[in-house]
């Protein structure tokens, strides 16, 4: 079970779900496992993660899942294309989100700074997805897992002397579906990295990265 880390996340006074009309940025609470939206849903909003981790995924005809992205605190996600969601989205851990408009001019009054914020976030998202493409297309299983751990540790990790501790909010299946692998292969890669002395595992979820530099070397080493 995921023990939520309390460090570093933005604190908010408002713990309520209700949308207050006087506020520009209504927040939303999402319990673990709850679905925010489905692929194909109509939607004109985007979300910014205040706390928690979300999973964006698509399911294929044959029932296999591709995790398109994980959304960490600070990330903006949910960009609709032609007013439709292109992925499913659910919460891996209890999460809090800020809801923002993603309406285009012509649909009504849109503020320029809102639009710019949307554009900037979308551009950032494109950069992230290109990284993901590099991982999927050009890496071995070991390299993929190393790259994944490196990224996650930068987003969720806590310094622990030389090491970095991370409490993974997602299971092996999610990691596999993100990297285009099977859970068995991910598990073997974890074991491999552990036996190389690069990481250590408390539970399966709690990872210590003992040698971040070596991890990055493996991740880069296409």
Partner DNA sequence: CGACTCCTTGAGCAGCTTCAATCGATGTGG
Partner DNA sequence: CCACATCGATTGAAGCTGCTCAAGGAGTCG
Quick note: the x/- pattern for its own copies over 60-99, rule CB under 8 A, is xxx-x-x-x----------xxx----xx------------
- Please give the Cα distance from 117 to 99 (Å, whole number): 13
Q: Which long-range contacts (CB under 8 A, 24 or more apart) does 8-17 make?
A: 8/73, 9/50, 9/51, 9/73, 10/50, 10/51, 10/73, 12/50, 12/96
Scanning residues 145 to 204, which ones bind DNA (CB under 7 A)? 171-173, 180-188, 190-191, 201, 203-204
Residue of 141, 151, 196, 200 interacting with DNA (CB under 7 A):
141
Toward DNA, which CB reaches closer, 75 or 167? 167
122 is a site residue for its own copies (CB under 8 A): yes
- CA triplet 68, 73, 77: central angle to 5 degrees? 40
Please count the residues of this chain forming the interface with DNA, following the rule CB under 7 A.
Answer: 22
183 interface partner picked from its own copies, DNA, none, CB below 5 to 8 A per type: DNA
**E-strand stretches of the chain:** 27-30, 35-37, 45-51, 54-59, 65-71, 76-77, 88-91, 95-101, 158-160, 163-167, 199-201, 206-209
140 interface partner picked from its own copies, DNA, none, CB below 5 to 8 A per type: DNA
Coil, helix or strand at residue 21: coil
Toward DNA, which CB reaches closer, 12 or 140? 140
Answer yes or no: are the C-beta atoms of 137 and 129 closer than 8 Å: no
Q: What residues make contact with its own copies under the rule CB under 8 A? A: 58, 60-62, 64, 66, 68, 79-81, 86-87, 104-106, 110, 112-113, 115-116, 118-120, 122-127, 129-130, 132-134, 136-138, 177, 179-180, 220-222
Which residues make up the interface to DNA (CB under 7 A)? 1, 140-142, 171-173, 180-188, 190-191, 201, 203-205
């Amino acid at each position: 079970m995921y023990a939520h880390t309390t460090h570093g996340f933005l604190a908010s006074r408002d713990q309520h779900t209700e949308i207050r009309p006087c506020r520009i940025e209504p927040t939303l609470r999402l319990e673990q496992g709850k679905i925010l939206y489905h692929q194909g849903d109509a939607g004109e909003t985007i979300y910014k993660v205040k706390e928690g981790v979300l999973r964006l995924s698509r399911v294929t005809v044959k029932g296999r899942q591709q995790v398109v992205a994980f959304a960490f605190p600070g990330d903006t996600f949910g960009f609709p294309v032609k007013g439709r969601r292109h992925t499913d989205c659910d919460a891996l851990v209890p999460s809090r989100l800020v809801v923002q408009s993603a309406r285009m001019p012509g649909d009504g009054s849109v503020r320029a700074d809102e639009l710019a914020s949307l554009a900037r976030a979308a551009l950032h998202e494109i950069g992230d997805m290109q990284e993901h493409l590099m991982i999927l297309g050009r890496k071995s299983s070991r390299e993929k897992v190393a790259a994944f751990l490196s990224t996650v540790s930068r987003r969720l990790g806590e310094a622990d002397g030389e090491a970095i501790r991370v409490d993974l909010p997602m299971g092996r299946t999610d990691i596999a579906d993100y990297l285009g692998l099977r859970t068995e292969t991910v598990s073997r890669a974890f074991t491999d990295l552990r036996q190389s002395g690069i990481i250590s595992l408390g539970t399966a979820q709690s990872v210590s990265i003992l040698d971040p530099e070596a991890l990055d070397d493996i991740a880069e080493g296409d």
